[in-house]
């Protein structure tokens, strides 16, 4: 996972930057809402990033602050939303306004974002309102407060076959239950909990992976 990129801006557009890092130019997709927060060509830039890997491509997404990246990753957990759609949502609404709309179940406001229909807006509210407010990971998802272990644990669990939304809920629950638990211990505990639920399809998938 490419977690951060620092370098000079070679090219800048409304929704992308090309950043020179040690002579290599990285194309980074960025929210339109962050355009004014980055400098111009030749300026230094420090981006928090998320690498999305597909069978036919690897796309790098960049953010000006952790709150943006956190919401981007949470949006990826919503059924039917991919990275381009998540970036479009962040481009159409600021981080605080988006969180407010989700917590207030304000479907009408969410549908004003280009490309977001009523059904998509409803899914966003249903699937993210809990994690943002009253779920076991609420404190971890508060603005500026996400635990670094959560992101690493989620990525590891997704690689093991977990659905991203389930990985978020399970890892957040473990972290909230033990403040000193390490990232590795979080993953092991989630796997153990899943294996203890034989009716769970996720548990079965994780068992298969662990047994390899």
This prediction has a pTM of: 0.66
Average pLDDT over residues 60-82: 91
Alpha helices by DSSP H, the chain: 66-76, 83-92, 95-103, 107-110, 118-132, 138-141, 148-159, 164-177, 183-195, 201-210
pLDDT at res. 179: 62
pLDDT at res. 101: 92
pLDDT at res. 106: 94
Rg, the chain, Cα only:
18
The three-class DSSP label of residue 178 is coil
Query: Percent of the chain, pLDDT > 90?
Result: 45
Domains of the chain: 4-63 (2.40.50.140), 66-136 (1.10.150.20), 148-206 (1.10.8)
């Amino acid at each position: 996972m490419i977690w951060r990129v620092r370098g000079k801006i070679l090219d800048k557009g409304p929704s992308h930057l090309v950043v020179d890092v040690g002579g290599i130019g990285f194309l980074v997709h960025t929210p339109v809402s962050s355009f004014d927060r980055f400098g111009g060509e030749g300026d230094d830039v420090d981006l928090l990033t998320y690498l999305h890997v597909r069978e036919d491509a690897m796309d790098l997404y960049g953010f000006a602050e952790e709150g943006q990246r956190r919401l981007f990753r949470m949006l990826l957990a919503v059924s039917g939303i991919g990275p381009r759609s998540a970036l479009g949502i962040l481009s159409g609404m600021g981080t605080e306004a988006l969180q407010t709309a989700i917590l207030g179940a304000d479907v009408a406001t969410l549908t004003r974002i280009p490309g977001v229909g009523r059904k998509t807006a409803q899914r966003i509210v249903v699937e993210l309102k809990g994690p943002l407010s009253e779920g076991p990971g609420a404190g971890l998802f508060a603005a500026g407060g996400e635990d670094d272990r959560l992101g690493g644990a989620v990525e590891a669990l997704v690689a093991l076959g977990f659905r991203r939304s389930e990985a978020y809920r399970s890892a957040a629950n473990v972290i909230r239950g033990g403040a000193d638990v390490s990232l590795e211990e979080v993953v092991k505990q989630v796997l153990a909990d899943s294996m203890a639920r034989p009716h769970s399809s996720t548990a079965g998938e994780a068992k298969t992976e662990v047994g390899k």
